[in-house]
Structure 1
C-alpha cells in the first residue's frame, strides 16, 4: 500500500477551494477482510466454461443430426466465444488484477476482441450471402451515440467505458452466436413438427424470447460476478444490461438490413434503439442489480430469476403481437402501426426500467450524501464539510468544474473533475462496505482515500 501523506492517528487541517474542517470519526470494519480471490470467480469460470460446452454441443447436434446450413457457422461460434472470453479476461487483468501491465494487456485484448468481432461480422455476412458493410457503417454511429447517452444516466458515478464496450461487444458477438445456434435447433425440431397456426406462432415467439434473452442476460451475470466492484446497484445493472442489448441490436440490424434494406435500419436504429433489446436486457440487469444489494442466496436468485422472467415475457409479447395483430399491407398504415406497436408492447416495460433507475439514483444519492458527510468528519479524510453539498448535487459539481475552468483553464477543469470522481469513488466504497457488500479488504478504502489526498495536493495519485 502506498505511503499516506499524513498520519491517520493525528488530526490535520485540510484546505481546498471550498473550505476547512477538523473532526474525528470511527472507521467501519472491513466487510471482507480476506485478501484472496472470492468464490464468485470460480462460479464465473464455471459459467463461462458451461457456455463454451453448450456452444460445442449445440453445434455438433446441429451439424450431425439436422444438416443445417448454418452448422459450420455454429462451429465457428465456438471459436468466436472463446476469443471474446479471452479478450474479456485480458481486460479484467489489465484493470483489476495486474494494473502494472495494463497497456500490454489492453493491447492484447484489443487484438483478440477485434479478431473475434471481425470473424463474426464475416460469418454473419457470409450467411446472408452478401457483404453488408453499409449496414455496419450505418449502425455504428447510432449505437455509439446510444451507448454514450446510456453511460451518462448514472450521474453519481459514470460506468467505465471499457466495461460498457465489453458489455456491448459481448451482446453483439457472444449472445448473437448463442442465439443463432439454439434458434436454429428450435426451428429444426419444435417448429418443424407443428402445423402452421397459433401454436407454431407461439412456439416461434418463445424461441426468440428464450434463446435471445438468456444469452444476453448471462453477459450481465458474468459481469456481476467478475467485476462486482464496478457493479453498484440497480442503476448499474440496468445500464450494463441495456449496453448488452444495444450490442445485440447492432448485430441484428446488420443482419436484417441485408434482407430488408434501409427500413430495417429505421425500425431498429431509430424507433427501436431503446424500445427493444436494450429494454429487455435492462430488465435482467435491474434484477442482477437488486441481487447486488440483497442478502441471502435465495433472495439473490429470486431477484436475478425475476429479471430473466420479465425480460422473456416482454420479448415474447412483442413477437406474439405479430400473430394477433399482423402489420397492414398499406404503406401508410404500416408506418403508423409499427411505432404504435413499440409504444403499446415495449413502452410499459421501458417505463418500468426508467422508474427503477430513477428510484435507484435517488437511493444512491441519499447514501452518497451520508457517506460524504461521514468522510468529512474524519481528521484526515478525503472530503471537506463544504464539499459535501457540492458533491451531492450533479449540477453543483458541474458548476464547480466550470468555476475551475474560468480560474485555472483546462487543467483546472480536468483537475476538479478528477478530484470529484475520486471522492465519489471513495464514498461509494464506504457505502458498500457499510452494507457489507465488498470482497476487498479495508486497505482498498484507505488506498482510495490516499488517491483523493494525492490529487488534492497535486501529487501523482496512486494507481
Structure 2
C-alpha cells in the first residue's frame, strides 16, 4: 500500500518510518502509540519476566458471570416461551416446526462460522448470544408486547394487526435482541471490540431469535391447516427467501456498536446501542410493511439490501486481515517474527500453506494453534494502541507472547 507523503508517522524505535494508520479499522491516535516489546533474539524471560505474564482474572470473571447469568435467564425464559409455543402450535406443530426451523438456523450459523473464521470468538460467548436470542429475547418480547397493544388503534382488527406488525414488532424485537449485544459489550468488552465482533454476535443472537420465531410460524401453519400446504408456503417465505432477515436487521446494530467499541470508550459504545437500533428498526419495519407488491419490493429492495450486507461483510473481513498484518509487522520489527512469517500468518493462503507444511511433520494442530495465537496477539496490540485499559492489555500481551514462544517450540520439535 502506497503511503501519502503527508501522512503522519509514528517515530517508535522498534517500528520506524511506518504509516500511522494504513487501515481504517486499525486507526490509532499518535499519542496512543507504544512500540511493541523488544525481543531481538534474547531469552524470553529477559524480555517478558514471568511476573509480567500473570494476567488479572477480572476480565475472565466478568465473562464467566455473563455466561452463567445468561444461562439462568435463558432457563427461566423457557417457562414462558415453551408454554406459549405449545399453546400456539400444539405438540405436533411444535415438533414439526422445531425440525423445520433447524434448516434456516443452519444457514445463519454457517454464515457466522465463515465470518468468524479469522479471529474466532469464544464458544461460551457465542452460546450466550444464541440462547439470548432463542429464549431471553423472545421472553422480553412477550412481556413488552401487551404495553404496545394498549397503544394500538382499536378502530378495527386490520388497523390493530398492522400496528403490531409494523410498529410493535420492529421496536420491541430489535430492542430485545440488542439487549444481548449491550450485555456482551459491557461484560465481555475484550471480545467485543470491533465491527466484525459486533456482526458475529448480532447474527448469532438473531439466528436464535429467528429459530424460535420460525417454530411458532411453522408450527402454527400445521395447527391451523392440518396439512403441509401452508407449511410449505411459509417455509419457502421464511426459510428460503429470508433466512437472514433478522440477522441483517440486528447486524446493523452490532456493526454500529462494534465500530464505536473499536474507536471509543464504553460510554460511546453504549450510546451506539441506541443509534444502532434505528437502522435495525427501520429495516425490520420495511420488511414487515411489504404487502400486495411483496415480490416487487423483495426483488428491488430486499435483495439489494442483502447484497449490500454481503459486500460490507467482505470489506470487514479484508480490513481484519490487513489489521492483523499491520500489527504483526510491528512485532516482526521488534524481533518476534521473521517478515516471511508475517505473510504466512496474515493471509489466508499463507495460513493454509503453513498448516500443510506443519501437517507433513505431524504438527498441523500445533500450527493451527500458533496461527490463532498470533491473530489474538495482533488484536490485543490493537486494543493497547487504542489507549483503552492499557495496563491490563499489556499484561495480556505479555502472557500471549510467552504462550506464542511455547507454541513455536512445539511446531518446530
TM category, shorter: 0.7 to 0.9
Question: How far did 1:158 drift?
Answer: 1.8
- 8 Å contact kept, 1:125–1:255: yes
| 1:238 to 1:394, Cα distance in 2 relative to 1, 3 A | same
Question: How far did 1:414 drift?
Answer: 1.0
Question: C-alpha distance in 2, partners of 1:86/1:377?
Answer: 39
Equivalent in the alignment of 1:217: 178
1:419 aligns with 2:370: yes
Equivalent in the alignment of 1:270: 240
CA distances 1:397-437 after superposition (whole Å, capped 9, x unpaired): 012212322x124xx22111111001111111011211223
Q: Find the partner of 2:274 among 295, 305, 322.
A: 305
Q: Find the partner of 1:176 among 138, 151, 166.
A: 138
Question: C-alpha distance in 1, partners of 2:384/2:327?
Answer: 11
Aligned pair count? 356
Equivalent in the alignment of 1:282: 251
Equivalent in the alignment of 1:385: 339
- 8 Å contact kept, 2:132–2:180: yes
1:408 aligns with 2:361: yes
Q: Find the partner of 2:115 among 139, 153, 168.
A: 153
Question: C-alpha distance in 2, partners of 1:11/1:87?
Answer: 40
CA distances 1:346-365 after superposition (whole Å, capped 9, x unpaired): 33443443343333323322
- 8 Å contact kept, 1:285–1:307: yes
| Unmatched tracts of structure 2, length 5 or more | 1-36, 223-230
Question: How far did 1:130 drift?
Answer: 0.8
Question: How far did 1:450 drift?
Answer: 0.9
Question: C-alpha distance in 1, partners of 2:136/2:89?
Answer: 21
| 1:436 to 1:86, Cα distance in 2 relative to 1, 3 A | closer
Show the 5 A alignment for 1:40-439.
88-89=67-68, 115-116=75-76, 119=79, 122-128=82-88, 130-131=90-91, 132-187=94-149, 189-191=150-152, 193-195=154-156, 201-202=162-163, 204-261=165-222, 262-263=231-232, 264-274=234-244, 276-295=245-264, 299-300=268-269, 303-322=272-291, 325=292, 337=295, 340-379=296-335, 381=336, 383-405=337-359, 407-409=360-362, 412-438=363-389
Question: C-alpha distance in 1, partners of 2:395/2:132?
Answer: 32
Equivalent in the alignment of 1:75: none
| 1:231 to 1:378, Cα distance in 2 relative to 1, 3 A | same
RMSD: 3.5
| 1:417 to 1:37, Cα distance in 2 relative to 1, 3 A | closer
Question: C-alpha distance in 1, partners of 2:141/2:101?
Answer: 20
- 8 Å contact kept, 1:272–1:342: no
| 1:342 to 1:142, Cα distance in 2 relative to 1, 3 A | same
Question: C-alpha distance in 1, partners of 2:396/2:211?
Answer: 37
| Unmatched tracts of structure 1, length 5 or more | 1-7, 15-21, 45-84, 92-108, 328-336
Q: TM-score, normalised by structure 1?
A: 0.68
Secondary structure of the residue aligned to 1:458 is helix
Deviates more, 1:205-214 or 1:367-376: 367-376
- 8 Å contact kept, 2:95–2:219: no
Question: C-alpha distance in 2, partners of 1:114/1:299?
Answer: 28
Question: How far did 1:319 drift?
Answer: 1.5
| 1:37 to 1:458, Cα distance in 2 relative to 1, 3 A | closer
Question: C-alpha distance in 2, partners of 1:245/1:408?
Answer: 42
| 1:219 to 1:449, Cα distance in 2 relative to 1, 3 A | same
